[in-house]
């Protein structure tokens, strides 16, 4: 079963959810803003997606810009910021047991589903 880390207010996240429905995929919706991820869960997601923490940061958010030295944070410090401010996590992210994808743009998710 897939998991989609979803924000219902985000158009891209809703598009990804619609694609999963259209493709008749089994999935679980994780509302990560209501149920924030912990450090270990976020690390597992990054391993599955093969992404560095900075790759899933929404850099235009005020919380990111307000962080001192945000341009020179270590990966660990970025992870801690993402845990503290879940709004900073780029969305949507879709994962299986072994792999995952940042489904932005939606073509990333389409490619991921071909190999799932």
Q: Which active-site residues does the annotation give?
A: 10
Cα gap 41→62, rounded to integer Å: 24
Q: How far apart are CA 57 and CA 83, in angstroms?
A: 11
Report how far Cα 72 is from the mean position of its chain's Cα atoms.
Answer: 22
**Which residues pair with residue 95 across a beta bridge?**
3, 100
In 10-70, where do the E strands start and end?
27-30
């Amino acid at each position: 079963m897939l998991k989609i880390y979803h924000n219902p207010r985000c158009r891209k996240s809703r598009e990804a959810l619609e694609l999963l429905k259209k493709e008749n995929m089994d999935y679980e919706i994780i509302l990560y803003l209501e149920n924030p991820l912990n450090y270990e869960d976020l690390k597992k997601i990054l391993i599955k997606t093969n992404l560095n923490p900075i790759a899933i940061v929404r850099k235009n958010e005020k919380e990111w810009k307000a962080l001192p030295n945000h341009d020179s944070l270590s990966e660990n410090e970025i992870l801690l910021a993402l845990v503290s401010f879940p709004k900073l996590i780029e969305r949507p992210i879709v994962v299986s047991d072994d792999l995952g994808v940042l489904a932005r743009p939606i073509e990333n998710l389409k490619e991921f589903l071909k190999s799932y």
